[in-house]
Every structure is written in C-alpha cells, then in structure tokens.
Amino acid sequence: MTTTAPFSYLDTPTAAPLSITELMPGAYNLLEYAAVTAGEQVLILAEHGTDPVVIQAIAAAAAYRNAEVHVLSTPPFSAGGWDRETPSPLLSAAHAAADAVISLTWWGEVHTAPLFFNEVAKQRARFVSLHQTATAAALSTGARFPLELYLALEARTYALISAAAEIRVTTALGTDVTFRDFTTGSPVSGHTSAPVTAGMWRPFPYGGANFSPDQTDGVVVIEESTVTGVPAERTTLELKDNRVTAIDGGAAAELRRYAPDGYYMRHALIGLNPKVRSAGGTQFEREKHAGAFYFGIDGLTPQGAVDRAAPGHAHCDCQFDRPTITLDGRPFVDNGTLLLLDDPEIRELAGKFGPADILLDPNPRLVLPPRYSR
C-alpha cells in the first residue's frame, strides 16, 4: 500500500492571506447553495488543520448576508469511525441549534454516528459538506461553476439514469462492473439540490448524480480508495449480487481488516462538474469532475446483512478518474469525457453566463473567470 494520496488537511498547503479574494466567487455560490438568509444561525464546522483562509472566506460570505456566524474547530474525524469516542457531543448540540451547517471536515459525515445522514434528517439545519474540499483550490475552481447550469446537468443525468435498467462501468485497467435495480438521488435529499432544505445533506462543490444499487456484478481494479490510497500493487474486487465475493492483490489484507464481516455495494456517483479538478485534488474533489466515477462499498453486519441506515464505519470509497460508462449500452461517459457537455440545450443555457466553450471545457486547468460564475 502506498501513501501518495493526501491523508488529511495536514497534507494540504494553506493559501496566502490575499488569496481570499479569489475564493469569494466560490464562497458566494456555497452560500447560495445553502440558501443562507439574514438573521440565520450559521455553524461553520472546521478541523484544526483546515486552511484558515478558507474558513475566513466562508465566514465573510455568511456575514455579508447578515447571518449570525459561529466557527467551531474540532479534532479531525477518523476514517471508518475507528475512534468511536469522537466527535465530541458539542457538535451535535451546536448542529441542533443551527439553521445551516457548513462542514469543513476531511472525512465525510458518513463515517460518524452523531452526524450521519439519518441524524442530519432529524434536525432543522441545512447541512452542506466540503469533505476533503475545504481548500483554496477547490473554492477557486469547481465552486465557481454556475449553480443553475450544474442543476441542469444534474437533472438531465438523473432523467437518463432513472430511465435505464443497467449502468456499466469499464476502465483501461480492467474494471468491468454492471449495476442494476438502483434508486437515484442522495441518501437524504432526493434528486435535486437547490435550494437545500431543512434536514438535507449535500456535498460541495456540487458535483454528481448519486445512485444506490441492489444488484452489482463484475470485477473492479482499485485505482484509489479510502483504505488503500493509491495501491502500490494491483488490487481487485469481485462482486456478485451486490456483495464483494473476493479480494485479491497487494492491498487485500488492509481491505479485509477494515471490514472483517465483508462488504456490499452501498452507492455510486457519476461526476458532472467540468470545473472541479481532476488532477492534484483529493479523492472527494476529483470524484465530482465531469466524467469521473466513484462508488462506496460498506461493511456488512456481523450477521452478514446490509444495513444502509447505519453509519458507514467501514465505508470505503473507490475513485476512477477516466471511466467509460454506458446506460443500457448507450455511451454516457467516454474514457472520462462526459458526453452531456455537448448537449445543445446545456450549451444554450451555458451561454447565459458566458461562452459555452469556456464554461463547459472539462480541462480543470482552465479556471473559470469569476465574471462567468453567476
């Protein structure tokens, strides 16, 4: 197993103080996404290692809307919830009192019981998570993409995958896996995401179409995962009837220890945001790039059962930067290129914000000028 993938915010650089100017278009879109209004109680939940310039940019955007801003800095969350004594109960108490929560933690709330999706749904707060994306680079790239244009891509994608009976994903390294009997939408929010409403959890930058399968079959070659990072040696999973039936290769032992009772396929996501970085970013940033793909396998109970209502203490996300995806045999993503970016209606809508060739160009090095972000 190799450690070439970033491990936490301690592995990511901080931004120069004056760069807050470049973060404000993305921070503006974040607050639009979270539907923050004057007088609301906004909780910014950060880790001790989160870039202070990112915290300041988001706090300033909320304060500009005349919201009451509160910043709570916490110890890092643990992958897989291995440290069950965290997070502190202070987080749940603050969450219960907030109108909106902006989470800047490294590991998504899926790994923790107090902030798991079913707990989010019990509270009145709107919950937006920048898991692994509370960086200056993420706020100045994918976060600038216009919300209206993203929602059009998301709605079109959900319509297409909801009408399909089969989603097949292949890669040049040998992954060939087919999903059937799936439901679409995030665990909490349903199909669309703006404005975010009470009890809803959504990731930011906005990035993809989520689905949960009940039937998954095929073979997976891991390129990067929560447990393995980027494996130093070829590591494969075999899936049948939505269960992982075999794990082989260099990182097999690490994967087995992480979920000793076995794995099932919990959910998957197709990336839709062309301005999210596909190189140099963290796993949870790159997953959102237009044409990327990832899925999350999770641990079975000790009785060998699937429990999607429980926190993902053995949740392992697997990232694929350049997949080929078909819907009932029809091409949808070609070697990492989202074909929907060439749709005439999408390009016409992009023209409201600026040149479609600039807004929909999936080269993440071509940063969107702020004047085209809204």
Q: What is the 3-state secondary structure (H, E, C) of the chain?
A: CCCCCCCCHHHCCCCCHHHHHHHHHHHHHHHHHCCCCCCCEEEEEEECCCCHHHHHHHHHHHHHCCCEEEEEEECCCCHHHCCCCCCCHHHHHHHHHCCEEEEECCCCHHHCCCCCHHHHCCCCCEEEECCCCCCHHHHHCHHHCCHHHHHHHHHHHHHHHHCCCEEEEECCCCCEEEEEEEEECECCCECCCCCCCCCCEEECCCCEEEEEEEEEEEEEECCCECCCECCCCCEEEEEECCEEEEEEECCHHHHHHHCCCCEEEEEEEEECECCCCCCCCCHHHHCCECCCEEEEEEECCCCCCCCCCCCCCCCEEEEECCCEEEECCEEEEECCEEHHHHCHHHHHHHCCCCCHHHHCCCCCCCCCCHHHCC
**Segment 240-249 mean pLDDT:** 97
Q: What is the pLDDT at residue 311?
A: 81
Of the listed ranges 3-7, 28-32, 176-180, 341-345, the least confidently predicted one is 3-7
Tens of pLDDT, residues 283-339 = 999 999 999 999 999 999 999 999 888 888 889 999 999 999 999 999 999 999 999
Say if residue 2's pLDDT is above 60: no
pTM of the model: 0.93
Tens of pLDDT, residues 201-233 = 999 999 999 999 999 999 999 999 989 989 989
- Quickly state the pLDDT bin for 187 (edges 50, 70, 90): very low
Tens of pLDDT, residues 101-156 = 999 999 878 788 888 888 888 999 999 999 999 999 999 999 999 999 999 999 99
Say if residue 275's pLDDT is above 50: yes
Say if residue 84's pLDDT is above 80: no
Q: What is the pLDDT at residue 4?
A: 64
Q: Average per-residue pLDDT in the chain?
A: 92
